[in-house]
Structure 1
Amino acid sequence: MENTMKGHKPTKNQLSVPATEASNRPSRRSGFERENGAGPCGNSTAKGGDSIPFQGIPSHAAGPEPTHSKTMRLTRQQLIQIEAHLSARDHAVLQAIRKYRFLTSTQIGNLYITACSTKTSKTRQQNLLLQRLGGHGLIRPLARRVGGAGGGSTVQVWYLTEAGQRLLTLNDPGEHPRKRFNEPSALFLEHTLAIAECAVQLTCLCRESEDLTLELADTEPSCWRKYRDDNRVCYLKPDLFVITSYDGYEDRWFIEMDLGSESPAQVVEKCNAYLRYYYTGIEQKATEMFPLVVWIVKDKTRKESLKTYIRESLKGQPKMFLVITPDELEPMLRQYIETKELCYLKANASYGFYGQTVGQIIQQIAGDLQVDTGAIADTGYAIPSLYEEDQSCLDIIQSAVQQTLLNTGNIYVFYDDGNGLALQQPADMMSDVLIGENSLLLDYTYKTDIDAQTYNSIKLARPNEETGHADVVIAQDSATIGQWGLLQLYQTVDGDVNTAQMEDQAAASLKYYNRRLRTLSVSSLGVPGLRAGMMVLMKVPGLGDISLDQYVLLEKVSHTWQNDVHTMDFETMAI
């Protein structure tokens, strides 16, 4: 039993936006590559690693003196003439600068100068491109430069002029004109360029990869989400919304660029905003998944600080936040982030356990994967032996839980309690919620049968190397055999299990399976926080062959929000 918040879904279409399309988003495959030849540059700058200083242009000029004075407003006819001489790549650069507000020379080069063999030739092509657009008065550099990556040489920062804005809207007269340009503050500029750098790295990584695809990189304000909270209109404002696909599956990400200027408390407040939006269900209804929220920080010290603060402040909440450094961006896209970051148990492993409880098995696996643990109940039952080879860690733990059920008759729920991996009995997870004909219940479907998971005879066999035959233990109920016929469950046990242990396991399994299987599927008004593995009190008189008045164990729970109405659907374990 488990709750699934974030998953993957197969991508049906590999979106490709040509550079000439005025879609306000960059293409993951440059439309101008055919113009200058295909193939990525053979240097690390294509992944945003090094900064290429922009040379040959004075800091207060955009290249050669334009034909038209900077103070003179270009007429529509002049803009039309200029546009006629622009290439598809020129248009793509203008659209990218409009989209990201500011771009450095290096970022523009990494995005649009791809057909080159050396850094020198790349820098030369980059200079010519910017000189040409600057010479037309369509872009202009800021008066101040910014430092290159890793403390390298300073680089020019470019923005779209009023003429550049008007040129891009020549065929869209209804669009509002660009506001008067004001020199940005240092902090605003740093944050804006950090967002752009993330988008550039994503574009370059996916462009150069055979298995990664960038489907969408959406910036502010088009990536914002509108929702209602306590009858107030609210906006969730991520820095970036990104869709990528890897190995045939689609992943969605809300990205926040952290410069270390906000306190941990401010970061947690932003996390709470994401949680409020998550609980509206708007995103899940539209796309069947909720994006993972990724904070990209400058260094490991900040990373560990935020991780600890978020974990301690949001205990019991869905694990939907990830904190990484820039060098972990590519591993994240390929889902190779350390298991402890998201409590993934998908990694395969081989284990042999002898005389250990399921709680001890969970703690050993968690320790090996450096995953946190929460409340773990003591089952009191030591599994004689459990050997699993090349199985996922999740399947290994579930196998141990199943062994405990078969040998004790007790159900245990394995889940993430917000602090880490946890194991509890349903009785320790009882809700005070009552669901019945006069309380929350909207509709239900009740089923009863003996065709699935009902057995009145348990036969266990243990291999015996001395005799060459299996040692057999049988536990059965003659009364239900006479009523239903023989319904036998046959299982083998390890050679390390003695006869007394086999008899105990057979008796416990018979106690659990020797019943008519009754299941219930329910639709009701929603209860926030209700999840699989919990127990709720249900009262439904005249439910088929019984009158239901007892606690039931929830096997699956799904929540839906529509038009501010919260409903849920759930299925129960055997009643």
Structure 2
Amino acid sequence: MMNTERLPGKPYDLFLQGMRQGWTQKRDMDILATLHKFRFVSFSDLVKLYFPSKAGDSAARRRLLKLYRWRLVDRCRQWAPEGPTEYIYMLDDVGAYFLAAYLQKQVEELGWRKRDNQVKLAYVRQYLAAMRLYLELRKQVALVHFEPEYTLKGEGYYFRPDAYAVFIKGKYEYRVFFEVDMGTEGQQKIQEKIKSYEAYYRANARPGFIMPYIIFVADKEERVRKLEAWVEKSRTIKALQYQFWTFGELMRAWTAKGVS
């Protein structure tokens, strides 16, 4: 039973009414949870996740429009030389209250702020790339856990890999920190990341500790080679296992044999 005494306010009343009357669906809550987790998700990726039927595009447009009008989700469009692209969706304020109610939490416990939706385009693209990685992993491996913006905090280090994943491929379980590169960070920023990973390793290295792979993923081969050169120049701990791939190469390699 949901504890309604600790869920005051109109959004919660609407949520409870919606659940009773059936116009708030379990799928709606899953969409809100995904937007909370990934922050920015494209229309086409939401279709892949929650509207897999042949009529998925039409069903998604109808449902997402309702969620938008109810202020459960917000949306924006990127602009390209050929014109506006598809909608990008994010959690809106009423949606945050609905999700909190569904999880039997207060909205403050979600750690969500509406101003988090107001970021530069480069950051939006990075979140979209993390979702792209997530969808590809779901197709190629048995995905156990995937968390974007994974926080690593301890004595001497505090940083966020773009994602942390645990998955099974064949007979083996892999743990991976992903750096999804959009070509916007320079050599100094990459060097800072390497120092953070090495600080994390030094703070945790002990018998039984297994350091995850660190995989840099970029769109273009030229950028991949540049990242590799910067990392090799910066690293001081040879035990750390770095890999560098384009998105296409990474997925083809895993399809064939998994992480080597």
TM-score (norm 1): 0.40
Quick one: distance in 2 between partners of 1:316 and 1:128?
53
Residue pair 1:224, 1:237 contacting (<8 A) in 2 also: yes
> Could you say what secondary structure the match of 1:215 adopts?
strand
> Could you say what secondary structure the match of 1:250 adopts?
strand
TM-superposed deviation, 1:185: 1.6
Q: 2:193 aligns with which of 256, 266, 270?
A: 270
1:308 aligns with 2:229: yes
1:133 aligns with 2:67: yes
TM-superposed deviation, 1:74: 4.2
> Cα deviation per residue 1:504-534 (whole Å; 9 max; x = unaligned)?
xxxxxxxxxxxxxxxxxxxxxxxxxxxxxxx
Q: 1:103 aligns with which of 23, 37, 41?
A: 41
Quick one: distance in 1 between partners of 2:236 and 2:113?
44
Quick one: distance in 1 between partners of 2:107 and 2:91?
19
| Match of residue 24 from structure 1 | none
> Cα deviation per residue 1:151-210 (whole Å; 9 max; x = unaligned)?
89711011111100001111213744742435322222222222222223223x14xxxx
Residue pair 1:253, 1:294 contacting (<8 A) in 2 also: yes
TM-superposed deviation, 1:320: 1.2
Q: 2:106 aligns with which of 173, 191, 195?
A: 173
Quick one: distance in 2 between partners of 1:260 and 1:291?
23
Q: Which runs of 4+ in 1 moved over 6 A?
A: none
> Could you say what secondary structure the match of 1:94 adopts?
helix
Residue pair 1:74, 1:163 contacting (<8 A) in 2 also: no
Quick one: distance in 2 between partners of 1:161 and 1:78?
15
1:193 aligns with 2:128: yes
TM-superposed deviation, 1:247: 1.0
The answer to which structure has the higher strand fraction is 1
1:306–1:179 distance in 2 versus 1, CA, 3 Å: closer
> Cα deviation per residue 1:303-346 (whole Å; 9 max; x = unaligned)?
11121232233366224111111112324545748xxxx9x6xx
**RMSD of equivalent CA atoms:** 2.8
> Could you say what secondary structure the match of 2:74 adopts?
strand
Quick one: distance in 2 between partners of 1:271 and 1:217?
22
TM-superposed deviation, 1:122: 2.5
**Greater RCO, 1 or 2 (C-alpha within 8 Å, sep 6+):** 2
Quick one: distance in 1 between partners of 2:228 and 2:49?
32
1:158 aligns with 2:93: no
Q: Which has the larger radius of gyration?
A: 1
| Match of residue 122 from structure 1 | 56
> Cα deviation per residue 1:250-296 (whole Å; 9 max; x = unaligned)?
001000111111112321221121112112226x66x7421100111
1:163–1:262 distance in 2 versus 1, CA, 3 Å: same
> Could you say what secondary structure the match of 1:265 adopts?
helix
Quick one: distance in 2 between partners of 1:125 and 1:174?
29
> Could you say what secondary structure the match of 1:115 adopts?
coil
Count of residue correspondences: 246
Quick one: distance in 2 between partners of 1:141 and 1:95?
16
1:75–1:259 distance in 2 versus 1, CA, 3 Å: closer
Q: Which amino acid aligns with 1:107?
A: D
The residue correspondences of 1:86-485 to structure 2 (distance < 5 A) are 86-116=24-54, 121-142=55-76, 144-145=77-78, 154-170=85-101, 171-173=104-106, 175-176=108-109, 178-181=112-115, 183-203=118-138, 205-206=139-140, 212-220=141-149, 223-229=150-156, 234-281=157-204, 288-314=209-235, 317-333=238-254, 336=257
1:161–1:240 distance in 2 versus 1, CA, 3 Å: same
> Cα deviation per residue 1:103-162 (whole Å; 9 max; x = unaligned)?
11011111112233xxxx2311221221232232211212x3355xxx897110111111
> Could you say what secondary structure the match of 2:210 adopts?
coil
| Match of residue 5 from structure 2 | none
Q: Which amino acid aligns with 1:159?
A: M
Q: 2:14 aligns with which of 55, 78, 99?
A: 78
Quick one: distance in 1 between partners of 2:231 and 2:165?
22
Residue pair 1:83, 1:167 contacting (<8 A) in 2 also: no
Specify every segment of 5 or more residues in structure 1 that has no aligned partner in the other structure, as ranges.
1-72, 207-211, 345-575
> Could you say what secondary structure the match of 1:125 adopts?
helix
> Could you say what secondary structure the match of 2:203 adopts?
coil
Q: Which amino acid aligns with 1:228?
A: E
Q: Which amino acid aligns with 1:132?
A: K
Residue pair 1:146, 1:157 contacting (<8 A) in 2 also: no
Quick one: distance in 1 between partners of 2:214 and 2:174?
12
Quick one: distance in 2 between partners of 1:102 and 1:186?
11
Q: Which amino acid aligns with 2:28?
A: D
Residue pair 2:214, 2:242 contacting (<8 A) in 1 also: yes
The answer to which structure has the higher helix fraction is 2
> Could you say what secondary structure the match of 1:252 adopts?
strand
> Could you say what secondary structure the match of 2:86 adopts?
coil
Residue pair 1:82, 1:136 contacting (<8 A) in 2 also: no
